[in-house]
Every structure is written in C-alpha cells, then in structure tokens.
Amino acid sequence: MKIAVVGVGAMGSVYAALLADAGNEVSVVDTSDEQISAIQEHGLRVEGASGDRVVRVHATHDPGDIGAVDLVVIATKAMHVRAAAESAHPLLGPETVVLPIQNGLGSAGAVADVLGAGRTVVGVAGGFGASIVGPGHAHHHGLELVRLGELAGRVTPRLERIAEAWRAAGFTVKTFDDIDRLVWEKLICNVAFSGTCAVLDLTIGEALGNEHAWSVAAACAVEAYEVAVASGISLGFDDPVAYVASFGAAIAGARPSLALDLRAGRSTEIDAINGAIPPRARALGLAAPSNSTIVALVHALEARDAYAASSA
C-alpha cells in the first residue's frame, strides 16, 4: 500500500515506521525543518513497545513531491487538522482514503469538510504513550489498540483492507460500525489524564498513584461518561473509573501529549479534549465542573508561559 503520513510527531512517527517496516511504501510530510532533515539524513527511528528500528521513508515538506497515494494518515494535533487536510489535496487519487487519527472531538468532521466525507474514515489510537526523543526519533510505552470506523455507515471492505495493512505492521486493530463508541471510549480516557497530568506535571502512573490527582482525573472521566450516556452513545463498559484506571496502568510511565506540549511551551489540544465536555454537558442539562476547571487551568498556564516568553 502506498501511504502518506501527514504530521510526523510522536504518533505519526510510530505509524510511519511500523507501516514502512512491514513493506508499505511510506512517505512523511511535516512542517518542521529539523524533523524532516533528520529523517532524510538518518532515517526514522522508533523504539519502545514495538522494538527498536530505523527505517528509511521519503520525508518532505511538500505533499506535491509524493503524488497520489492509497491512504493518507493525518496525524497532526487536533488544532492543525484542517490545515493538514488542505495541504493533502496533491496526495489524492480517485480511490484515496483519508484517515485522521487525533485526540478529542471534531477532527474527522473537519477532514470531511475539506476533502469529502466519502473518502474519510475515522481512527482512534489508545495506549501508546508516545513521545519525541529528538529529531527523527520517537519512543512509545505501549502498543495497545487502533480503532477504525467509517465516517458514515458500517464497516466496509475498504476499511477492512486498511485494518489488515495495519495489523500486518504489528498494530492491534478493531473495526467498529459505531464511530461514536470508538471516539468516546478514547475521549473518556483522554479527559481523565490529559489535562490533569498537564496541570500537575505528572506521568499517568503518578496521577494514578496520587489520591488527590486521581480524584480529579476520575471526576473528569465520570463527567464525560455521563455526557456520552445521556447522548445515547453505547459504550463497552459501565464503570468509567475502572476503565480509565486500567487504560492508564498499561502506560503508567508515559506523559500525555498535552502535558508534553504544555511543558515545551507549545499550544495544546485542551479545547478538543476536556474542553469538548462542558458545552455538550450544558446542552443536555448536565454539569462538567471538573473538566471546566481543568480547561481554565491549562489556558492559565498557557497564558503564563506566553507572557514569560514575550518578556524574556
């Protein structure tokens, strides 16, 4: 399969390296000069739960250098998805499928708006705990699950072909007829750990082991779960606290990507993760005070860091 990965941060690196190592023709696209130069010169290195490998992939800033592919994987942060989709037009052929894989809500809809609902499928990855070690070098703590679904409708033969390509590369993949379930099961885990670990600068394991941090994380998860249930979304569990704890225990040494972004002074995805819960709660006559507080605290820290940077 000919594949382009747009956004070669931590998770994009894992996708690209394993898919390329399995024999697919993989190209990566990113706006970072440092990242692209390192991959061009040294190859793409990924280590962790999948082993330690260096693969050669075509790395470029310009999707026009690649041409049409079978599959476009958009692996940017949520706030960059629309721009990534706009840049992906040169990668499209008549049968090209576009697979956005982000945290939070809204990415698939943004891609469908730009590139068409008919070619858009939905991906949710969980349990990887990935981070960038250095330019062209990523690490991941786990290799748990990639969930895939069609944007509009049940599982199709094309979705199963994509799933098989990912399975052949070592990923555990499940396909779903119900995309709301696949998105919300991951979102409930994200809202527990992303903002909480960012505000407190904790690993997931540290948040689990600190009763005060865990009380906040668990409350965020419960609020998201209540919104999902009230929205009529069918979930595969009825105890969100136990579900989230089990998810976190598998990648205890990792820091959520949102926490890493805040540490590095980068913009975060908080509005697409914890920030997605309060407005949906209000529309249903529910409250989400824990998620609202976490969102306010993350934005306060972002503002603090921006002020410090401008005053330096």
Give pLDDT, residue 306: 84
What's the confidence (pLDDT) of residue 152? 81
Q: Kindly list the structural domains of the chain, giving each domain's residue range(s) and its CATH number in brackets, ordered by start.
A: 2-177 (3.40.50.720), 185-311 (1.10.1040.10)
Question: Residue 182 has what pLDDT?
Answer: 85
**What pTM did the predictor assign?**
0.86
CB contact burial 79-113 (16+ within 10 A = b; e otherwise): bbbbebbebbeebbeeebbbbbbbbbbbbbbbbbe
Which residues of the chain, if any, have pLDDT below 70?
312
Q: What is the pLDDT of residue 220?
A: 98
pLDDT of res. 312: 67
pLDDT mean across residues, the chain: 95
Give 194-232 pLDDT, tens digit per residue: 999 999 999 999 999 999 999 999 999 999 999 999 999
Tokens, residue 89? 């037009």
